[in-house]
Amino acid sequence: MSTAELTLPSKKYRQKMTVFSIVVVAVALACIYTNFNPLGIFMEFHYVRDLVGEMTPPNYHVLSDNSSTAMAILQTLSLAFLGTLYGGVIAVVVAFLAASNTMPFRAIRLTARFVLSFLRVIPILVVILIFVIAVGPSTFAGMLTLVIVTVGNFGKLFTEMIENVDNPPAEAIFSVGASRMQVIRYSIIPQILPTLIANLLFAFDVNIRAAIGLGIFGGGGIGFQLQLAKSVLHYKDVTAIVSLIIIMVIVVEKISDYLRRKILGEGKLR
Amino acid sequence: MLEVKNLTKTLPNGRRLLDGISFKVKKGEFVGILGSSGAGKTLTLRCLNGLLKPDSGSVIIRDEHDRPLDICKINKRELRRVRQKIGVIFQGYHLVKRLSALENVMIGKLGQINTFRSLFYGFTDTEAEQALKALDKVKMSELAGSMTGNLSGGEMQRVAIARAIFQSPTLLLADEPISNLDPSNAKTIMKMIKPLSEHMPVIGVFHQPEMTAKYCSRVIAIKEGKIIYDGDPKLSNKRLEEIYGEELELIEQQEHLLAAIAK
Amino acid sequence: MQARMYSFKRYRKFILPLIILLAVTEGAAIICGATFGKLFEGLYRGIAFFGNMYPPDWSAFSEMLEPALQSIVIAFLGTVFGALMSIVFALLAASNLSHPWVRAITRFLIGLERSIPEIVILILLVAAFGLGAMPGVVALSLGCIGMLGKLLADIIEEIDPLMIESIESVGGNKLQVIVFGVLPQIIPNIISYTLFRFEINIRLSVLLGAVGAGGVGYELDYSFGMLQYHRAFTAMIIIIAMVFATEQLSYYLRKKLKMEGALK
């Protein structure tokens, strides 16, 4: 590097200002286009105040008066759990089909890879709307959605995990005359198992948040209760449900963090 | 002109880190502070620019109107003003790694430009020219545009010196500026620091008695928080033993080793 | 006999977790009404239905371009405002810059935000402000804080304290410490995390659209509601193209940034 690359402060200042103004203009145009007034939040803050007024105090009788709220929480938890479990199992199977060190046939490998990349870009909204029509609005539809989403989000990761497995143990096992299945069982699975379980716990963490959103589109569970309470303007119930959601998410996160730490060993989180 | 009076610092457990440190330094002096590890040299230096507050004592320097100011007593705002006129060179380079060498030098004047201007990196071209001159004095102008994190230790230390020069300070402090450098780089740095003492008092903490003997005009030795020697930089072996105790042998070994590597 | 004992012992520690897992699965399956067999039937029906949606209704393509743009713009605004707010939160939540009390409160808020799904925020905002782009943008911006705020705060805490001291030692004030000592060090991270968050926000913006933020997500939901499945297929293609294109763009930019910004 030499003095030639030196930018004088005035020039640097102009460069920075240019970038800054481009961003400002872009944001301003975007605001005008969408009719979004950033100051509107403050100018129309009385709406928020009104809402907060209507929302407090939270009506925790939703839990005791009506068994459906408690049931809805259970539903959300179980649909997230099943979605993660079934989705995880399918993702692992597809990952083995897509990994170059476990699947010798190119055609199958490429098909599996294509399926995974397709599922990765397909938005959750599309999936839930399809299943709601295919099997009717229910917890089952929500669960099926999470299965697909889990495969999409984690299939590629699992494939990479399998491909990154250390080769020497596999070679050692091959060299004593073992079959491909035996190599998978004794070399690959033991190596990927801890990371796999840790990732599934993380997936559960992600899925519980997604499951709440799914309820709104007919996936059942606490999201549906929230939407219901909001649409009949029972805002005190809404507050209660939102606080229950927060507690549920935090508890799940803590448990999943704890288990992951235990599995991966202290300090190696993520 | 700097006057240090009776600095003391005590840990909560009662251990005295600094115990009545007093000395005066005039313009034209290059003072080396020596002492074994943990003797309190770096602590003393950190008190001099207010990075550390002593329990008692005072550090008096003259501000631009020649008024005496006690660094240990002034508030944060005044402290920032005083620091603008104190150049500091640290052992760990203290440079922002993702800014260019030139920008790191210009940071020296940061306290002197207004906050609003600095928000937009608003240095002027004149300031850049001056900064480039300062870099030229330490023979770094060719690397002015490169990212500081990519420079070597010796080069970073030269940028730090350029920053101190650019500040046009009334006092220069150096905290083990050559401890992380190889002998030839260390000599270069010492040669660059020495002439600065013509314009301002220079105080440095060092770990190499043979370097201070060669370049400093005066040496202060600290042991267990007390000044045990203040005077001629050429120290007798007996004196060195007194200063360093058992550590002396280690230092000699280290120096032999470094000298051998340098050859 | 001994060999059997050995293998039994080896597997014994897995038995209890396995029983728990099976019991929980069974319980969950009863609650959801989904056994393993039914799972494949459901998946099959979904895929079969997906096949029926073909071919797409290309006549609706042109009228969906504008909603698509709207979704992108909402995601863009949400990301920009969200990133700005996240930087402020991150600075307040970093232990080396902020007062311990301020840090504790900010960290708590960040953690709280992280546990509220964006869609819940949106529902509350729609209740307050009505339908439109505004609740969407605000929900996405707030959604950034939980993720970006935490990541950036952690990065700031890892900054070498020497760099902060270097600004302090020449008399810089707190703002100058942030602008010169902190921002240059974290800007590559800010940009790369923000790009990553933009990918997430594009997906979320589609999802939120269906709940009331407008855009192509609303078009999709509406087409399904009107049973116009071929039209829905068109919306789906646009959405997938959008998601795919942002992902590639962000991946490319992040890679470029990593190569340019790398220190030796």
Give CA–CA dist B86/B172, Å, rounded: 6
Q: Do C180 and B110 touch (CB under 8 A)?
A: yes
Q: What does C173-221 look like in DSSP terms, one character per residue?
A: -HHHIIIIIIHHHHHHHHHHHHHHHHHHHHHHHHHHIIIII-SHHHHHH
pLDDT tier for residue C261 given thresholds of 50, 70 and 90: low
Give CA–CA dist C203/C200, Å, rounded: 5
Measured between beta carbons, the chain B residues lying within 8 angstroms of C169 are: 49, 51, 83, 86, 88, 90, 94
What was the pLDDT predicted at B21? Answer: 87
Q: Do C166 and B96 touch (CB under 8 A)?
A: yes
Give CA–CA dist B6/B20, Å, rounded: 4
What is the average per-residue pLDDT within C92-121?
Answer: 90
What was the pLDDT predicted at B247? Answer: 67
What was the pLDDT predicted at B146? Answer: 85
> In angstroms, how far apart are the furthest CA atoms of chain C?
79
Give CA–CA dist A90/A112, Å, rounded: 12
Q: DSSP code of A8?
A: P
Measured between beta carbons, the chain C residues lying within 8 angstroms of A50 are: 128
Closest CA to A157 of A126, A130, A195, A207: A195
Mean pLDDT of chain C: 87
Which domains are delineated in chain B? 2-85+171-262 (3.40.50.300), 98-168 (no CATH)
Across the B:C interface, residue pairs with CB atoms under 8 Å apart total 88
Does C103 share its domain with C159? yes
Beta strands B202-205 and B171-175, pairing class? parallel
Q: Do A17 and B143 touch (CB under 8 A)?
A: no
Q: Between these two residues, A72 and C37, which has the higher pLDDT value?
A: A72
What was the pLDDT predicted at A269? Answer: 42
Q: Å from C165 to nearest chain B CA?
A: 7
What was the pLDDT predicted at A158? Answer: 92
Q: Between these two residues, C2 and B7, which has the higher pLDDT value?
A: B7
Q: Between these two residues, C36 and A269, which has the higher pLDDT value?
A: C36
Does C38 share its domain with C72? no
Q: Do A16 and B120 touch (CB under 8 A)?
A: yes
Give CA–CA dist A243/C225, Å, rounded: 31
Does C66 share its domain with C152? yes
Closest CA to C80 of A44, A8, A262, A38: A38
Measured between beta carbons, the chain A residues lying within 8 angstroms of C147 are: none
Beta strands B30-34 and B202-205, pairing class? parallel
**CB contact at 8 A, C171 and B111:** yes
Find the range with the poorest average confidence among A2-16, C17-31, C167-181: A2-16
The torsion angles phi and psi of B240, rounded to 5 degrees, stand at -60, -40
Domain end call among C52, C73, C88: C52
Measured between beta carbons, the chain C residues lying within 8 angstroms of B163 are: 170
Find the range with the poorest average confidence among A256-270, C113-127, C184-198: A256-270
What is the average per-residue pLDDT within B151-155?
Answer: 87
Q: Do A129 and C132 touch (CB under 8 A)?
A: no
What was the pLDDT predicted at A84? Answer: 93
Q: Do B145 and A16 touch (CB under 8 A)?
A: no
Q: Give per-residue burial for A134-160: e unless 16+ CB within 10 Å, then b.
A: bbebbbbbbbbbbbbbbbbbbbbbbbe
Closest CA to B34 of B241, B257, B260: B241
Distances (CA, A) of A243 to A47, A79, A176, A219: 21, 20, 59, 20
Across the A:B interface, residue pairs with CB atoms under 8 Å apart total 37
What was the pLDDT predicted at B121? Answer: 63
**CB contact at 8 A, B71 and B82:** yes
For residue B95, what is the nearest residue in chain C, using CA coordinates? C163
Q: Between these two residues, A204 and B42, which has the higher pLDDT value?
A: A204
Domain hosting C27: range is: 2-52
Q: Å from B224 to nearest chain C CA?
A: 26
Does C96 share its domain with C171? yes
Residue from the list A1, A12, A16 with its beta carbon closest to the beta carbon of B143: A1
H helices within chain A, ranges in order? 9-34, 40-43, 45-55, 61-65, 67-98, 106-121, 124-135, 139-163, 167-175, 180-183, 189-214, 222-231, 235-264
A103-107, B184-188, C66-70, C224-228, range with greatest mean pLDDT? C66-70
Q: Between these two residues, C117 and C262, which has the higher pLDDT value?
A: C117
For residue C264, what is the nearest residue in chain B, using CA coordinates? B150
- Which pairs count as long-range contacts for B60-63, CB under 8 Å and 24+ apart, including other chains? B60/B2, B60/B3, B60/B4, B60/B5, B61/B1, B61/B2, B61/B3, B61/B86, B61/B170, B61/B171, B62/B1, B62/B170
Query: For tokens 């052992």, what's the residue?
Result: B91
What was the pLDDT predicted at B259? Answer: 67
Where is B237: in which H helix or E strand? helix B237-244
Tens-place pLDDT, residues B3-52: 888 888 888 887 888 888 888 888 888 999 988 877 888 888 888 888 88
What was the pLDDT predicted at C264? Answer: 47
Which of B105, B113, B121 would best serve as a mutation to test chain A binding (most A beta carbons within 10 A)?
B121
In CATH, the architecture of A61-264 is Orthogonal Bundle (1.10)
Q: Give per-residue burial for A41-58: e unless 16+ CB within 10 Å, then b.
A: beeeeebbeebeeebeeb
pLDDT tier for residue C3 given thresholds of 50, 70 and 90: low
3-state secondary structure of B147: strand
The torsion angles phi and psi of B7, rounded to 5 degrees, stand at -70, 130
Query: For tokens 């230790």, what's the residue?
Result: B153
**CB contact at 8 A, B53 and B47:** yes
Tens-place pLDDT, residues A214-249: 988 888 888 888 888 888 888 888 888 899 999 999
Q: Which pTM does this prediction carry?
A: 0.85
Tens-place pLDDT, residues A73-127: 888 999 899 999 999 999 999 999 998 888 888 899 999 999 999 898 888 899 9
Measured between beta carbons, the chain A residues lying within 8 angstroms of C224 are: 129, 132-133
Looking at the structure of chain C, the number of domains it has is: 2
Q: Between these two residues, A60 and C145, which has the higher pLDDT value?
A: C145
3-state secondary structure of A36: coil
Cα C38 to the center of its chain, rounded Å = 31
What ipTM goes with this model?
Answer: 0.84
Tens-place pLDDT, residues B205-263: 988 888 888 889 999 988 888 888 888 888 878 888 888 876 666 666 776 766 666 65
Give CA–CA dist C55/C238, Å, rounded: 14
Say which residues have a Cβ less than 8 Å from residue A220's Cβ, sequence separation at least 6. Answer: A72, A75, A76, A79, A137, A138, A139, A140, A141, A142, A214
**Does the pLDDT at position C72 exceed 90?**
yes
The torsion angles phi and psi of C223, rounded to 5 degrees, stand at -60, -40
Tens-place pLDDT, residues A118-161: 898 888 899 999 999 888 888 899 999 999 999 999 999 999 98
* Amino acid in position A238: V
What is the average per-residue pLDDT within A246-259?
Answer: 90
Interface of B with A (CB under 8 A): 100, 102, 106, 120-125, 127-128, 132, 141-146
Give CA–CA dist A130/A151, Å, rounded: 17
Q: Å from A138 to nearest chain B CA?
A: 54
Q: For residue A202, what are its two tokens?
A: 């993380």
Q: Å from B98 to nearest chain C CA?
A: 6
Q: Å from A7 to nearest chain C CA?
A: 16
Does C122 share its domain with C152? yes
What was the pLDDT predicted at A68? Answer: 80
**Does the pLDDT at position A57 exceed 90?**
no
Residue from the list C111, C123, C133 with its beta carbon closest to the beta carbon of A34: C133
Domain ranges of chain A: 3-55, 61-264
Measured between beta carbons, the chain C residues lying within 8 angstroms of B118 are: 172, 175-176, 179-180
The torsion angles phi and psi of B34, rounded to 5 degrees, stand at -115, 165
**Does the pLDDT at position C42 exceed 90?**
no
Residue from the list C43, C48, C129 with its beta carbon closest to the beta carbon of A144: C43
Q: DSSP code of B100?
A: B
Any chain A CB within 8 A of the CB of C68?
Answer: no
- CATH value at residue C197: 1.10.3720.10
Q: For residue B208, what are its two tokens?
A: 């190499």
For residue B150, what is the nearest residue in chain C, using CA coordinates? C264
Q: Between these two residues, C9 and C14, which has the higher pLDDT value?
A: C14
Tens-place pLDDT, residues C149-165: 999 999 999 888 888 88
